[in-house]
Amino acid sequence: MIKALAVLILAAAAAGAFFWFHQTPQAAPVPLAQVRGSSFDLSAKPPVAPPEPPPPVVAPPLVPEVQPEPKPVVVTPPEIKPEPKPTPAPVPEVKPPPVEEKPMTLTFSRLAFRYWPQTKDKGARDPFPKEIKALNGKKIVMDGFMFPIDFEKGKVRSFILSNGMFGCCFGDAPAITETIKVYRADGKLMPYQSMARVTGVLEVGEEYDGDGYVDSVYRIKAEDVGAAQIEHK
């Protein structure tokens, strides 16, 4: 019985060997000395001990993160602008009362000059001296004889102030520079005076009548007309 079993085992081993050699590609036989890990490895080394595990890494203690101190918030107060001061109302300029111009006292001798009618020629010389023209517009006071020109309701509207009486002194009439036409600046009538004192503004220049003749070279816009004594000069 035991022999039969041994035969069967040998036959099975032979069949397996035959099958293995014919199915697997042939390779060079491996020397037994190179076979490791089997019972045929004669030069097997003792098993190597596994390496010791590394020491556990000890994590450093957790240091709590120090939060930076918050910076103090500086609150800038809003700029308070001063309220604009109310602009004072402009003070009206108080002008001093105009100083009344003191009238200049004139005489006929001051106004006398040799007059000739001015022609219309471009090269004609001005008959009025500079010192006489400088009196134009001046406030003056003069005395003279009154010769009324216009009457109205027993009073005088305009008259001639003269240095002498017409027709006296050998019958010569006063020169045109010795007569001044007088009328009120406000148009009021004036009382008659044989000798009058006239206060007003003097006008210097030629004034013509309706026929184109020189009617006067002096005129006074009178502000006041009263009685006066005259001294011939």
Contact 41, 35 (CB under 8 A): yes
- 231 Cβ contact list (under 8 Å, min separation 6): 143
Who's near 217: CB < 8 A, 6+ residues apart?
115, 128, 176, 177, 204, 205, 206, 207
pTM value is 0.54
Contact 193, 216 (CB under 8 A): no
Given this model, what pLDDT does residue 23 score? 54
Residue 214: CA atoms inside 13 Å, Cβ hemisphere, count?
A: 18
Q: Is 173 exposed, middle or buried (0-12, 13-18, 19+ CB in 10 A)?
A: middle
User: DSSP E strands: which ranges in 130-190?
Assistant: 139-152, 155-162, 179-184
Instruction: Using DSSP, state whether 5 is helix, strand or coil.
Output: helix
- Report phi then psi at 132, rounded to 5: -75, -40
Q: What does residue 152 show for φ and ψ, rounded to 5 degrees?
A: -155, 120
HEC letters along 44-106 = CCCCCCCCCCCCCCCCCCCCCCCCCCCCCCCCCCCCCCCCCCCCCCCCCCCCCCCCCCCCEEC
DSSP alpha helix (H) spans, the chain: 2-23, 108-111, 130-133
pLDDT of residue 28: 52
Measured CA angle at 116 (ends 114, 120), to 5 deg: 145
Q: Report the pLDDT value the prediction gives residue 40, as an integer from 0 to 100.
A: 47
* pLDDT tens sequence across 52-73: 777 777 666 676 676 777 777 7
Show the domains of the chain with their CATH numbers. 104-114+128-227 (2.40.50.870)
**Beta strands 214-227; 179-184: pairing state:** parallel
CB burial readout 103-132, b (16+ within 10 A) else e: beebebeebeeebeeeeeeeeeeebbeeeb
What is the residue whose two structure tokens read 């006066």? 228
Q: Residue 151: its pLDDT value, please?
A: 87
- Which residues does the chain have with pLDDT short of 70? 1-8, 11-48, 58-61, 63-64, 66, 98-100, 119-123, 166-172, 229-233
Local structure of residue 10 (DSSP, 8 states): H
The per-residue pLDDT for 13 is 67
